[in-house]
């Protein structure tokens, strides 16, 4: 019979050293992890979603304002107004501006978006704008993802997916932040061969539930290239192209060319035109409509070039393109222009069955079918600097984002 083993002094010292190393490792992991630099304050209960009003206000007054530099538009999620600034994403009472919930990290905030009553917050670390977090309407953290990204990204939503676009790389995410597509530059050498092109500059992109249109400039191409892809291929690392071709004609090589909107069967691309050649006439700026495979269908001349702040949003059964000085309504299916409202200062919102458009002296309420102005609500903007305005509506409260600040009117 073997004698029982006895612990020696060396065994005890080794066990203590191992225990200390485990504790130190745990402390280092915690100190470097997300939790140590994150502050999360959730709402005691979800804010009630205000009922839609069937009456336009006759007058508006300022209710509150808050910094909102990280968002690209006025955002709401459920019953709260959402602001993003200085690493913090805040859900606010739309009537008072009171903080209902807070999510804050000790790293730069690249962008904020909202969809399906949730908020997507993207932060920058040493791998770029790689830290994405999904927040519920009460501020609770639902899920997160991390992957290599560019140092700057532009977030957009299409009713199905989230698009994170950088100058060299883009990703599409599902509503749970699971990646459905990576396109462009990839850091994993094994995945480089799966990309049709990996050294191009991504100029702009837009998506729908079935199509992703990417405008890019590649070193070997004489002008911009339009690529139409599946936003959710079988393998998220292997893009599935429906078509890819180099644009031709006046303005095809301009850095101002951009994708405006994408539906399931149409793609709208802005072409800035070109000055007159010797003995010829100038080419006006145009809106080129293509089918779902990127084949040109029709071209519409525009009265003036789009400004840098031009953008398009979808509201109801139409897209609304803010050109810089007007709003053009586009059919949600064909992207054909329906009507134009001059004198606009930004993108509109829907309220009481009308399209609210920010104008110089207030908000113009337009008929959604014809664009005819029905009434005008005065709004004072003493600090207005001319930057584009983005509108959102929560019940009787109207939100205006301008110059990195969210203003509530009621």
Tokens of residue 14, six digits: 């080794």
Ramachandran sector of residue 343 (left: φ over 0; alpha: ψ -120 to 50; beta: rest) = left
Q: Does 317 or 289 have the greater pLDDT score?
A: 289
Residue 7 lies in a domain: no
Print burial letters for 259-285: b (CB count within 10 Å at least 16), e (below 16).
Answer: bbbbbebbbbbbbbbbeeeeeeeebbb
Non-local (6+) Cβ contacts of 353 within 8 A are 54, 368
pTM as predicted:
0.89
**Across 352-356, average pLDDT:** 97
What is the number of domains present in the chain? 1
- DSSP, res 275: P
Q: Does 370 or 28 have the greater pLDDT score?
A: 370
| Residue-level pLDDT at 187 | 81
Tokens of residue 128, six digits: 């770029």
Residue 213 lies in a domain: yes
Calculated CA dihedral for residues 294, 298, 300, 305, nearest 10 degrees: 20
| Residue-level pLDDT at 5 | 52
| Residue-level pLDDT at 278 | 73
Is residue 345 within 8 A of residue 360, CB to CB? The reply is yes
Domain that holds residue 302: 38-409
Residue entry with tokens 């793609």: 267
Residue 1 lies in a domain: no
pLDDT in tens, 34-86: 555 899 999 988 888 889 899 999 999 999 999 999 999 999 999 999 999 99
pLDDT in tens, 80-116: 999 999 999 999 999 999 999 999 999 999 999 999 9
Query: What's 300's domain CATH number?
Result: 2.130.10.10
pLDDT in tens, 295-322: 999 999 999 999 999 999 999 889 999 9
| Residue-level pLDDT at 47 | 86
**Rounded CA separation 243/121 (Å):** 32
| Residue-level pLDDT at 250 | 87
Residue 3 lies in a domain: no
pLDDT in tens, 116-166: 999 999 999 999 999 999 999 999 999 999 999 999 999 999 999 999 999
Q: Sort strands 258-262 and 266-271 into parallel, antiparallel or unpaired.
A: antiparallel
- Mean pLDDT, all residues of the chain: 91
pLDDT in tens, 188-244: 766 667 899 989 999 999 999 999 999 999 999 999 999 999 999 999 999 999 999
Residue 16 lies in a domain: no
**Rounded CA separation 209/196 (Å):** 22
Element (H, E) at 338: strand 337-342
**Rounded CA separation 47/150 (Å):** 35
Residue 334 lies in a domain: yes
Indicate the SS3 state at residue 323: coil
| Residue-level pLDDT at 30 | 41
Residue 259 lies in a domain: yes
Query: Where would I find the beta strands (DSSP E) of 7-127?
Result: 38-41, 62-67, 75-77, 80-85, 88-92, 99-105, 109-115, 118-125
Tokens of residue 204, six digits: 């702009």
Phi, psi of 25 (to 5 degrees): -60, -40
For residue 31, name the pLDDT band (cuts at 50, 70, 90).
very low
| Residue-level pLDDT at 26 | 43
- 1 pLDDT exceeds 80? no
Residue 24 lies in a domain: no
- 24 pLDDT exceeds 80? no
């Amino acid at each position: 019979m073997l004698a029982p083993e006895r612990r020696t002094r060396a065994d005890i010292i080794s066990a203590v050293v191992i225990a200390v190393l485990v504790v130190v490792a745990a402390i280092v992991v915690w100190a470097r992890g997300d939790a140590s630099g994150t502050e999360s304050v959730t709402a005691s209960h979800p804010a009630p979603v205000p009922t839609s009003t069937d009456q336009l206000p006759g007058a508006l007054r300022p209710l509150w304002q808050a910094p909102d530099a990280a968002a690209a538009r006025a955002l709401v999620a459920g019953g709260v107004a959402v602001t993003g600034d200085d690493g913090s994403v805040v859900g606010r009472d739309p009537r008072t501006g009171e903080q209902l919930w807070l999510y804050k990290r000790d790293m730069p905030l690249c962008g904020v978006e909202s969809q399906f009553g949730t908020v997507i917050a993207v932060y920058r670390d040493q791998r770029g704008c790689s830290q994405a977090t999904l927040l519920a309407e009460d501020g609770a953290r639902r899920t997160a993802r991390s992957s290599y990204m560019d140092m700057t990204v532009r977030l957009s939503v299409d009713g199905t997916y989230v698009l994170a676009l950088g100058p060299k790389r883009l990703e599409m995410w599902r509503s749970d932040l699971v990646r459905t597509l990576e396109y462009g530059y990839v850091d994993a050498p094994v995945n480089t061969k799966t990309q049709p092109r990996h050294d191009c500059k991504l100029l702009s992109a837009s998506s729908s539930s079935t199509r992703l249109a990417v405008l890019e400039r590649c070193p070997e191409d004489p002008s911009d290239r339009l690529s139409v892809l599946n936003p959710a291929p079988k393998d998220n690392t292997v893009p599935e192209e429906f078509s890819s071709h180099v644009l031709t004609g006046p303005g095809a090589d301009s850095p101002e060319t951009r994708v405006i909107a994408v539906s399931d069967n149409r793609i709208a691309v802005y072409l800035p035109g070109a000055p007159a050649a010797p003995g010829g006439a100038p080419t006006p700026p145009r809106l080129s409509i293509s089918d779902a495979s990127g084949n040109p269908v029709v071209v519409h001349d525009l009265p003036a070039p789009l400004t840098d702040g031009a953008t398009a949003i979808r509201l109801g059964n139409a897209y609304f393109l803010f050109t810089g000085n007007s709003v053009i309504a586009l059919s949600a299916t064909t992207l054909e222009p329906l009507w134009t409202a001059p004198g606009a200062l930004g993108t509109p919102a829907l309220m009481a069955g009308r399209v609210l458009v920010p104008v110089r002296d207030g908000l113009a309420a337009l008929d959604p079918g014809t664009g005819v102005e029905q009434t005008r609500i005065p709004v004072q903007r003493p600090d207005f600097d001319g930057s584009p305005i983005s509108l959102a509506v929560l019940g009787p409260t109207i939100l205006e984002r301008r110059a990195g600040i969210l203003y509530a009117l009621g």
